[in-house]
């Protein structure tokens, strides 16, 4: 049996094209040979397909095989087009430094506002003593606002009045002597009336002085109430102004940080776009020989009369600047929100 098989092999190989011999191949291997330009044309005498290249393509096929062997045997250095991340721009670093230093920068303003509110509360608490009738002699009473010299003023005024009335008594006595009625009833009546008028006037003067002192004390007490109210309002306004300064300081800092962050992000995005473009260029250069060989093989196939394979297509590259810029602007927008308060509290006027 083996002898017959060998004899059959020799007979079949006699009809093989020059340089070919019998071999077993599968469909996949046949397709590979076809892709290299072999037509797989059946030999007329035996019907066995031959995958020999046309003579005019033999040198070309050998050249292709040599180039493919050299190209595919060499590993690709993927480190040349490994993804890279652009470093942080100095403007971004400055923005982060400002943001870090600005944390808690509102504290002095808040402390000042709390102090002012405490003083306003104290001033408001003192208003209660200045309301009501003002009776008694304690703090906030009308008596507390009277002049400490009021009694001395009253005493001196009444003394001066008494002295002026003494001269009048003497005049009545002198007139009675001149009329020859000294010590008489008429003189006594006139002196009695004069003394009564003196006492009445003296009481009126004293009452008037007391009323003047009371009215002055009332006005002083009312003025003190108004002053206390004004002081309370001033402290409240100061607290509001301190809060306003705090918000203004934070808002201004937020705008500065936002501007620095966005400008830094744009510069970082540009640098990232450069890195992406360099990475894409390196990748294109690394795979260019494979695409060139594929086109070479496809051309040989077409010349041999086979069906040309798909043409090599350069990989579609993304827009590195657009991608980097979109990411950078998204990050840059965060800077402006760090110290931007949702509202600003104005100070009281």
Residue 30 pLDDT grade (very low, low, confident, very high; cuts 50, 70, 90): confident
Residue 60: predicted pLDDT: 79
For residues 40 and 49, the answer to whether their CB atoms sit within 8 Å is: yes
Rounded CA gap, 215 and 145, in Å?
Answer: 10
Q: Which of 126, 95, 72, 77 minimizes the C-alpha distance to 297?
A: 72
User: Which pLDDT belongs to residue 343?
Assistant: 43
pLDDT at 219 over 50: yes
Mean pLDDT over the full length of the chain: 78
- Alpha helices by DSSP H, listed for the chain, are 2-14, 27-35, 58-73, 90-102, 107-125, 150-178, 185-303, 320-335
Say whether pLDDT at 344 is over 50.
Answer: no
Distances (CA, A) of 92 to 100, 102, 260, 275, 337: 12, 15, 6, 19, 14
CB 129 within 8 Å of CB 140: yes
Greater confidence (280 vs 15) lies with 280
What is the pTM (predicted TM-score) of this model?
A: 0.50
């Amino acid at each position: 049996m083996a002898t017959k098989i060998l004899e059959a092999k020799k007979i079949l190989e006699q009809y093989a094209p020059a340089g070919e011999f019998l071999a077993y191949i599968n469909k996949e291997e046949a397709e590979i040979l076809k892709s290299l330009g072999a037509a797989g044309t059946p030999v007329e005498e035996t019907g066995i397909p031959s995958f020999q290249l046309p003579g005019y393509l033999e040198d070309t096929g050998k050249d292709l095989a040599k180039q493919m062997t050299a190209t595919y045997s060499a590993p690709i250095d993927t480190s040349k087009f490994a993804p890279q991340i652009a470093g942080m721009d100095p403007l971004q670093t400055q923005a982060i430094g400002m943001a870090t230093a600005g944390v808690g920068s509102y504290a002095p303003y808040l402390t000042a506002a709390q102090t002012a509110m405490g003083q306003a509360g104290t001033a408001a608490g003192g208003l209660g003593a200045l309301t009501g009738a003002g009776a008694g002699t304690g703090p906030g009473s009308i008596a507390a606002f009277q002049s400490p010299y009021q009694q001395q003023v009253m005493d001196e005024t009444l003394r001066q009045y008494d002295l002026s009335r003494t001269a009048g008594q003497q005049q009545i006595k002198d007139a009675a002597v001149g009329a020859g009625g000294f010590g008489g009833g008429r003189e006594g009546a006139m002196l009695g009336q004069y003394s009564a008028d003196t006492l009445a006037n003296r009481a009126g003067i004293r009452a008037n002085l007391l009323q003047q002192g009371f009215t002055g004390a009332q006005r002083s007490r009312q003025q003190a109430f108004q002053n206390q109210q004004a002081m309370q309002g001033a402290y409240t306004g100061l607290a509001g102004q301190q809060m306003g300064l705090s918000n203004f300081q934070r808002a201004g800092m937020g705008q500065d940080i936002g501007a620095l962050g966005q400008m830094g992000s744009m510069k970082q995005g540009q640098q990232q776009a450069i890195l992406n473009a360099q990475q894409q260029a390196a990748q294109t250069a690394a795979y260019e020989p494979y695409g060139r060989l594929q086109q070479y093989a496809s051309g040989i196939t077409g010349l041999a009369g086979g069906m040309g394979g798909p043409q090599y297509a350069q990989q579609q590259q993304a827009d590195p600047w657009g991608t980097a810029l979109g990411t950078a602007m998204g990050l840059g927008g965060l800077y402006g929100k760090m110290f931007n308060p949702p509202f600003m509290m104005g100070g009281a006027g």
